[in-house]
Amino acid sequence: MRTLIAGTSKHVLLASCAIIVIAIALALAPIPRSQPLSRVASILAHVPLLGSRAANKSSRLYNSAATSLDRGGGNHGGQSARNMAFEKELKVAQLAVARASILTKLVFAEKAKGTISKEDKSPVTIGDYGAQALIIAAIKHNFPQDEVVGEEEASSLREQQDLSSKIWNLVKDAKLSDAESDRLLGGPIKSEDDMLTAIDAGNSAGGAKGRIWALDPIDGTKGFLRGGQYAVCLALMVDGDVKVGVLGCPNLPIDDSEPLKEDMGTAANDKEGYGVLFSAVQGEGARSQALTRGAISEGHPISVKKITDVAQAVMCESVEAGHSSKGDNAEIAQKLGVTGKPVQMDSQAKYGSVARGAGDIYLRLPVRKDYQEKIWDHAAGDLIVREAGGQVTDIHGNRLNFSIGRTLRDNKGVIATPANIHAQVLKAVGEVLQAKM
Ligand code: AMP
Ligand code: MG
């Protein structure tokens, strides 16, 4: 009996301690309004004594809350962000993209002040090389065996000492404001030579075996130059299948519910209140959060818009006429009864916009028969849209095939839409293109 009482009072004591610890943890931790339950789950997970059971219970609550936010059937179920697959890969990718975006914004600011060069293309070159170096250095620090398919290579840069030192001057100082996050990326790159080595490590041939990252350090170079839309794009493929995708879009509005404006691609949006980080892990849903210099938060789930009348859909397309056939797009819009003007913007910001329901239909119809889309232009966006409840195929209705090298040579064009209207859009695309054969 004495042992029983002693045992019971020990349990009462343990339970009281646990309650006090939780109360203190909850009081000290700010709970963002958008994510209260997930935050509670993550706090509970760090409270000893209660361990994972309490945390799991909260995660279940959180998952059902996320589902109720779902506007279009996005895949937000599965595990809590805390127990996610590819958790480290996601964090490294998000932070690396955020750090590279700091550099691209700096390059743009210098260009705007006219201090970089009179030659139009040099800010792009500087931003591209610098961002690629920072991202690959972070990947290699954390996952030394992984390969990278990057858009740039440093051979010509090695012969241009001036340009190389300009890039190095920006790269060596680009860092996150959160010291622990910056440490996770391996801290600053050590030397100019290491920077060039990192750029060159983006030379993977791609393929169907192993862990390969696809990187576009600045997608949408023209948008970048005019202060419009561009994206820092990174995706991890395992055996040719995209598992993690991250898009840093420094000039998109932070607010997911802000509608796309017609001048999105042309207006200069490099200012406060802009900058969003989209991310997705296969089977875990897609998320967005403000693109900041600090630590990464869990963000919040995003989903494509549920379209009940396709005529109301917002269409997105490239700014560049050479990247996607605008004439075909217009005919397809007409067939679908869409009367709104298409929103033109550069880069994979189009995928991010569809994923959060700001845009609905992204069409990229081939202009040239022989053009092969590049995997770094699509890998992250493809996963983010699919995880947000969308469907992404080529003009023949086939999934994009990332497993055959640096290009999507098996596919022609891209159609990204909410899943429930994809068949309808695909049919319209087929009819318009068929009539031209
Ligand atoms: P966007 O900003 O969506 O127009 O796409 C930018 C990307 O288009 C660049 O990163 C290029 O790799 C790619 N690109 C270049 N030429 C073509 C082309 N002829 N057709 C489709 N994409 C292209
Ligand atoms: Mg690109």
Q: What is the pLDDT of residue 67?
A: 27
Q: What is the pLDDT of residue 1?
A: 40
Spans of the chain, pLDDT less than 50: 1-8, 12-13, 17, 25-74, 76-81
User: 317: which residues sit within 8 A by CB, 6+ positions away?
Assistant: 324, 326, 329, 342, 343, 344, 350, 362, 363, 364
Residue nearest to atom 8 of ligand 1 (CA): 323
Instruction: In whole angstroms, give the CA distance from residue 116 to residue 264.
Output: 26
Average pLDDT in the chain: 84
Ligand 1, residue 374: give the atom nearest the CA. Answer: 12
347 touches ligand 1 (CB under 6 Å): yes
Is 67 an active-site residue? Answer: no
Q: Are 215 and 202 in contact (CB under 8 A)?
A: yes
Please give the distance, rounded to the nearest whole angstrom, from the Cα atom of residue 250 to the centre of ligand 1: 19
Ligand 1, residue 223: give the atom nearest the CA. Answer: 2
Q: Is the dihedral of CA 176, 177, 180, 186 positive or negative?
A: positive
Is 221 an active-site residue? Answer: yes
Q: What is the pLDDT of residue 19?
A: 57
Per-residue pLDDT tens for 231-266?
Answer: 999 999 999 999 999 999 999 999 999 999 888 877
Per-residue pLDDT tens for 313-352?
Answer: 999 999 999 999 999 999 999 999 999 999 999 999 999 9
